[in-house]
Amino acid sequence: MTALLEIRDLVVTYRLGFGRTLRAVSGVSLQLDQGRTLALIGESGSGKSTVARAVCGLGPVESGSITIAGTDVTAAPDRAVAAGKIGVQIVFQDPTTALDPRWPIWRSVAEPRGRLFPPSPDRHRARAVALLERVGLDAAMADRRASQLSGGQRQRVTIARALSAEPRLIILDEAVSALDVSVRNEVLALLDDLKREAGLTYLLISHDMGAVIQIATDVAVMYLGQIVEQGPAQQVIGAPAHPYTQALLRAVPSLEGLAMPARMRLTGEIGDPARPPSGCRFHPRCPSANAHCAREIPIARPYQGRSVACHRVEELA
């Protein structure tokens, strides 16, 4: 495998005013190989979308490196432009805000291509119409406005828009979470088909475990700005090792309706990233935490084919 995306010791800090800061991402390292789908999962406030925005150049980076196809984009004067030229595109959760309401949808699809390739309006329109058909929309819709489409249709337009720039890496930031279940499954199947056909690579930001199970090849679990477990999806989802990953997966509703033991339930709030707890950041909510967990930050280490940051992982297994 060839690494398309490498993140090393990424730190993202926001300034809140009055001398206060919030460290949303603290020392995150990830690697995404060409042709794979890495799902970054965790509760709201864990830092998933902050990582995504940093990769595509839309968010700040305090330190660390983001290397895409061998180029360190953190050193670029305009990181968003640099990432776009290398082949990074993003699909957001809300397709309505991603599309200009004044434009026909073909023009929204063609816009990223027009920025990267020499102007040729007629060819850009033809390419846009072909992409709309590829994502399951009728060519007759090309002159409609976004307000004339359903939510699922608008999301297909944003996918076509991302494809128009001939990307290598597409970031899916909660891209299907606002869709109905049946529409979500259709869009996920479309994304999987496009990945195989065009050799695309996806960074999937999601709290939807159904979507993760459906298309992810690798999973990284974030908690309060740090990675606590990462590895192949089959191992992380099938046999989670970190107590947070276990609790996160047990919280997914099940058709069996089996009652979860109280000691295994995920209780309390994720915590304040501006004032993270000492030691393991999960220890205030972890039923297996001890005094060592409260004192010392766990270092990620190999465990059964994945990486886990937990002092007691072997003992608890």
End-to-end CA distance of the chain: 30
Q: Is 150 within the bounds of a domain?
A: no
* CA pair distance 144, 134, nearest whole angstrom: 17
What is the pTM assigned to this prediction?
0.91
User: Is 273 part of a structural domain of the chain?
Assistant: yes
Residue type, 214: Q
- For residue 218, give every residue at least 6 positions away whose Cβ sits within 8 Å of its Cβ, in sequence order, or none: 32, 36, 37, 38, 39, 230, 231, 232, 233
CB count in 10 Å sphere of residue 268: 7
**Does some domain include residue 129?**
no
Does some domain include residue 9?
yes
Report how far residue 113's alpha carbon sits from residue 139's, in angstroms, rounded to the nearest whole number: 18
Query: Has residue 143 been placed in a domain?
Result: no
**Number of alpha carbons in the 13 Å side-chain half-sphere of residue 215:** 30
Mean pLDDT across the stretch 130-150?
A: 94
Whether pLDDT at 317 is above 60: yes
Query: What's the rounded mean pLDDT across residues 18-45?
Result: 93
By DSSP bridging, strand 218-223 and strand 37-41 are parallel
Separation CA 167–CA 161 (nearest Å): 10
CATH number of domain containing 177 = 3.40.50.300
Region 210-234: mean pLDDT is 95
What CA dihedral angle connects 23, 29, 35 and 38, to 10 degrees?
-50
* Secondary structure class of 39 (helix, strand, coil): strand
Which amino acid is it at 219? V
pLDDT score, position 17:
79
- Two tokens, residue 269: 């709030």
Query: 103-107, 155-159, 262-266: lowest mean pLDDT where?
Result: 262-266
Share of the chain above pLDDT 90, in %: 71
Q: Is residue 288 part of a domain?
A: yes
Query: CA angle at residue 231 from 227 to 232, to 5 degrees?
Result: 145
pLDDT at residue 259 tops 50: no
Question: Are the C-beta atoms of residues 287 and 316 closer than 8 Å to each other?
Answer: no
Q: What is the pLDDT of residue 309?
A: 97
Tens of pLDDT along 72-110?
A: 999 899 999 999 999 999 998 888 888 999 999 999 999
Averaged pLDDT for residues 40-47:
93
Quick one: pLDDT band at residue 182, thresholds 50, 70, 90?
confident
Burial class (CB in 10 A: 0-12, 13-18, 19+), 201: buried
pLDDT band at 1 (very low <50, low <70, confident <90, very high): low
Range of the domain at 233: 3-87+167-316
What does the pLDDT average to over 123-142?
92
In a domain, 46, yes or no: yes
Express each pLDDT in 269-291 by its tens digit: 788 888 899 999 999 999 999 99
**Is the Cβ–Cβ distance between 270 and 252 less than 8 Å?**
no
* Averaged pLDDT, 19-34: 93
- Secondary structure letter of residue 311 according to DSSP: T
pLDDT at residue 71, as a whole number: 93
Asked, for residue 72, whether it belongs to a domain, the answer is yes
Comparing CA positions, the residue from 102, 101, 89 lying closest to residue 131 is 89
Task: Name the domain count of the chain.
Answer: 1
